[in-house]
Amino acid sequence: MIEPIRFTFEVACPVDRAFAVWTADIDRWWPADHTVTGTDDVAVILEPRPGGRIFERTMSGVEHEWGEVTVWEPPARFGYLWHLRRDRADATDVDVRFIAVGEGTTRVEIEHRGWEALGACGEDWRDRNQGGWATLLPFFVAAATHQVG
């Protein structure tokens, strides 16, 4: 078994805001260098329901699939299959939980697992995603605490 990636951190906002920023406002904080096209003029869309798509859409309407929502429990949890830059058959699983830990503070727990599905390259992809998460999460934290736009 390849060890899952796990992140736990706190944001200075209530649970419902943290959930909404991650899901409904994903386009506001997701950085261009974490997209297929790598350009600033794409829309990042997360359809809010089980079976909903996670994808980017270019200004010309071209769509690039990233994943599919598998769990939708606002504002406490959502999960999704993740296959950015990979075939859907190679999707890994991401589970994100939002837990109130005090007045206006939310603990976010992320587990990204299923690397075995990628066969021999599973550990390399896990390591690449570890770095990707580390550079992505500060954008979310900034948006959730009103430090962006």
pLDDT tens for 77-114 read 999 999 977 788 889 999 999 999 988 999 999 999 99
Mean pLDDT over each residue of the chain, to the nearest integer? 94
Nearest partner of 28 among 147, 128, 115, judged by Cα? 147
pTM (global) more than 0.95: no
pLDDT of residue 149: 42
Q: Return the pLDDT at 102.
A: 87
Residue 66 resides in a domain: yes
Residue range of the domain that includes 64: 5-144
Domain harbouring 104, CATH code: 3.30.530.20
Residue 134 in any domain: the answer is: yes
Task: Name the domain count of the chain.
Answer: 1
**pLDDT value for 147:** 55
Q: Residues 73, 4, 26, 108: is their CA dihedral positive or negative?
A: positive
- Confidence at residue 123, expressed as pLDDT on a 0 to 100 scale: 95
- Is position 25 within any domain? yes
Q: Would 92 be classed as within a structural domain?
A: yes
| Residue 104 located in a structural domain | yes
Domain assignment of residue 149, yes or no: no
Residue among 69, 123, 75, 125 at smallest CA distance from 99 = 75
